[in-house]
């Protein structure tokens, strides 16, 4: 009990009453009244359909919502289990709604979920985002069963997404994580994960709850810690991921900075581990994969190229400090090509990311400025990718992504050499 002294007293009282559970699902939330009801019902249906005999708990770890999120969670329930082809659960489904304390952010919310999992000796756990519109009861099975029935410790999500969706994941996070740690986890920052009680203990053993991990870097931290800790990893195909529309004014530059800084910080923490890794291995995948047709979507390539060119004109001296002379020379060269033939080759992109990782490690300039200066380069790369693949289907895009990943792996010695220079 002493290890969980930081849990709020009223929560500890509730946990004492519950005793132990087999399965726990956590939902971190903040002002999600519009969507969380559906998520709660999906979790309850998932418990009833796939784990009717197990002792289950749904915990909502809330960051002080003011829109009535806790009330929605409290009132959400399945009235007629027959309609979802499930029987009424044989054991009570516990539900806890509690605020978390500490730095506001998903990391602090999940720390509380890990603490509860340890307290209740949960065998298998999952966390799902509170803004999901496409979650179904099957997600609970797909995230929990690999742990509960197959002995895995960490289940990463695998979504069906549009070929241009998740560009930060596809161009930076997935290929870089794969090249660094040698595991092909396709959605390392997916947000919905399954994990064992053992892994929850491992997460809690690290004192990162006053860092950026508590605020925004928890997803990649969980994935990286699971890989570097030597835990059994797999992924589950969950289908489409549709979540509530984000604020259109949300700053892409800030989002890119948060994601990339999380990955780069972890590179520093696990330097000894990733330097030893060569190549990569696939991880077992559960679920029934499928593809659907691609709807044409609006992408403003001209604007992206324009920002890239403005960056080249205005941030040139800064890029010169960050990038190696060879990389910078190449970027200058592609900046002078015309609009239609504009291309940012994979090899140059990988060198760019590796140069940025090294500059971050060596703190060549202020780190926030460093990461913000990546944005025009990132948009240049995305514009080039869109120009290269106007007619490509999902499989073709996935093949191109595989080529990019191999480029990351092939150039890893360059990263190590620059890192140590």
Partner 1 sequence: MDGPFTDAVMTTLEKFYEGLEQFLPNLLAALVIIAIGWLVAWVLKRLIRRALVLARFDQFCDTTGASQVLARADIRAAPSECAGRFAFWIVFISFLMIGLSALNVGVIDRLIAEFFMYLPKIFAALLILFVGFLIGNFLSRAALLAAVNANMPSPRAISLVVKFLIAILAFAMALEQLEIATSIVTAAFIIAFGAVMLGLALAFGLGGRDVARRVLEKQFLEKKEQEPDEFSHI
Give the residue carrying structure tokens 């030893």. 276
Check binding of 166 to partner 1 (CB under 8 A).
Answer: yes
Which span (149-157, 246-254, 265-273, 326-334) binds partner 1, by CB under 8 A?
246-254
- Residue 181: φ, ψ to 5°: -105, -5
- Least distance CB 74 / partner 1 (angstroms): 30
CA distance 354 to 358: 6
Helix (H) or strand (E) holding 144: helix 137-148
Check binding of 107 to partner 1 (CB under 8 A).
Answer: no
Instruction: Give 85 or 252: the residue with its C-beta nearer to partner 1.
Output: 252
Check binding of 73 to partner 1 (CB under 8 A).
Answer: no
Contact residue for partner 1 among 18, 84, 318, 411 (CB under 8 A): 318
Check binding of 306 to partner 1 (CB under 8 A).
Answer: yes
Contact residue for partner 1 among 45, 97, 110, 256 (CB under 8 A): 256
Tokens of 78: 């399945």
Check binding of 29 to partner 1 (CB under 8 A).
Answer: no
Check binding of 400 to partner 1 (CB under 8 A).
Answer: no
Instruction: Give 318 or 411: the residue with its C-beta nearer to partner 1.
Output: 318
Under 8 Å between Cβ of 137 and 78: no
In 3D space, the residue among 233, 230, 225, 227 whose CA is nearest the CA of residue 284 turns out to be 233
CA distance 127 to 129: 7
Instruction: Give 146 or 380: the residue with its C-beta nearer to partner 1.
Output: 380
- Least distance CB 86 / partner 1 (angstroms): 32
Check binding of 389 to partner 1 (CB under 8 A).
Answer: no
SS3 assignment for 316-368: HHHHHHHCCHHHHHHHHHHHCCCCCCCCCCHHHHHHHHHHHHHHHHHCCCCHH
Number of residues that bind partner 1 (CB under 8 A): 39
Instruction: Give 79 or 366: the residue with its C-beta nearer to partner 1.
Output: 366
- Least distance CB 258 / partner 1 (angstroms): 9
Give the residue carrying structure tokens 């549009």. 162
- Least distance CB 370 / partner 1 (angstroms): 9
CA distance 140 to 144: 6
- Least distance CB 33 / partner 1 (angstroms): 22
Q: What's the burial of 376, exposed, middle or buried (CB within 10 Å: 0-12/13-18/19+)?
A: buried
Residues 355-384 that bind partner 1 (CB under 8 A): 362-366, 368-369, 372-373, 375-376
Contact residue for partner 1 among 29, 169, 196, 327 (CB under 8 A): 169
- Least distance CB 222 / partner 1 (angstroms): 16
Instruction: Give 100 or 159: the residue with its C-beta nearer to partner 1.
Output: 159
CA distance 157 to 138: 12
In 3D space, the residue among 223, 220, 236 whose CA is nearest the CA of residue 147 turns out to be 236
Check binding of 255 to partner 1 (CB under 8 A).
Answer: yes
- Least distance CB 121 / partner 1 (angstroms): 34
- Burial pattern 232-269, b for ≥16 Cβ within 10 A else e, equals bbbbbbbbebebeeeeeeeeeeeebbbbbbbbbbbbee
Check binding of 406 to partner 1 (CB under 8 A).
Answer: no
Residues 264-303 that bind partner 1 (CB under 8 A): 297-300, 303
Tokens of 285: 């995948």
Q: How far is CA 13 from CA 10, 136, 346, in A?
A: 5, 32, 55
Check binding of 189 to partner 1 (CB under 8 A).
Answer: yes
Instruction: Give 73 or 397: the residue with its C-beta nearer to partner 1.
Output: 397
Instruction: Give 17 or 363: the residue with its C-beta nearer to partner 1.
Output: 363
Residues 112-151 that bind partner 1 (CB under 8 A): none
Which span (8-16, 26-34, 157-165, 176-184) binds partner 1, by CB under 8 A?
157-165
CA-derived radius of gyration, the chain: 22
Name every residue whose Cβ is closer than 8 Å to that of residue 2 and which is 6 or more positions away in sequence.
Answer: none
CA distance 79 to 85: 13
- Burial pattern 381-403, b for ≥16 Cβ within 10 A else e, equals bbbbbbbeeeeeeeeebeebbee
Taking CB under 8 A as the rule, which mask of x and - marks residues 2-21 in contact with partner 1? --------------------
Interface with partner 1 (CB under 8 A): 162, 164-169, 189, 246, 248, 252-253, 255-256, 259, 297-300, 303, 306-307, 310-311, 314-315, 318, 321, 362-366, 368-369, 372-373, 375-376
């Amino acid at each position: 009990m002493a290890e969980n002294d930081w849990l709020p007293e009223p929560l500890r009282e509730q946990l004492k009453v519950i005793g132990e559970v087999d399965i726990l699902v956590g939902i971190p939330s903040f002002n999600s009244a519009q969507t969380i009801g559906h998520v709660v019902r999906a979790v309850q249906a998932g418990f009833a359909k796939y784990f009717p005999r197990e002792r289950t708990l749904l915990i909502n770890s809330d960051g002080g919502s003011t829109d009535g999120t806790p009330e929605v969670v409290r009132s959400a329930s399945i009235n007629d289990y027959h309609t979802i082809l499930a029987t009424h659960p044989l054991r009570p489904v516990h539900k806890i709604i509690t605020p978390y304390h500490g730095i506001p952010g998903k990391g602090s919310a999940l720390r509380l979920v890990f603490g509860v999992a340890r307290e209740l000796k949960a065998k298998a756990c999952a966390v799902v985002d509170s803004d999901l519109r496409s979650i179904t009861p099957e997600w609970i099975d797909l995230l929990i069963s690999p742990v509960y029935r197959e002995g895995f410790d960490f289940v990463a999500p695998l979504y069906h997404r549009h070929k241009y969706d998740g560009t930060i994941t596809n161009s930076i996070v997935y290929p870089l994580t794969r090249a660094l740690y040698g595991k092909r986890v396709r959605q390392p920052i997916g947000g919905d994960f399954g994990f064992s009680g053992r892994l929850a203990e491992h997460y809690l053993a690290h004192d990162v709850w006053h860092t950026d991990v508590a605020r925004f870097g928890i997803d990649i931290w969980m994935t990286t810690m699971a890989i570097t800790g030597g835990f059994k990893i797999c992924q589950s195909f969950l289908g489409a991921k549709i979540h509530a529309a984000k604020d259109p004014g949300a700053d892409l530059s800030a989002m890119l900075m948060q994601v990339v800084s999380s990955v780069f910080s972890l590179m520093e923490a696990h330097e000894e581990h990733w330097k030893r890794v060569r190549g990569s291995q696939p991880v077992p995948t559960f679920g029934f994969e499928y593809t659907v047709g691609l709807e044409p979507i609006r992408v403003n390539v001209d604007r992206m190229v324009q920002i890239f060119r403005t960056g080249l004109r205005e941030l040139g001296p800064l890029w010169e400090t960050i990038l190696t002379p060879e990389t910078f020379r190449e970027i200058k060269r592609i900046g002078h090509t015309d609009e239609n033939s504009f291309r940012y080759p994979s090899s140059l992109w990988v060198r760019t990311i590796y140069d940025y990782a090294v500059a971050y490690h060596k703190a060549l300039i202020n780190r926030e400025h460093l990461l913000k200066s990546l944005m025009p380069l990132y948009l240049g790369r995305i514009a080039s990718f869109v120009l290269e693949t106007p007619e490509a289907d999902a499989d073709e895009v996935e093949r191109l992504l595989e080529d990019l990943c191999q480029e990351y792996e092939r150039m890893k010695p360059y990263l190590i050499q620059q890192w140590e220079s």
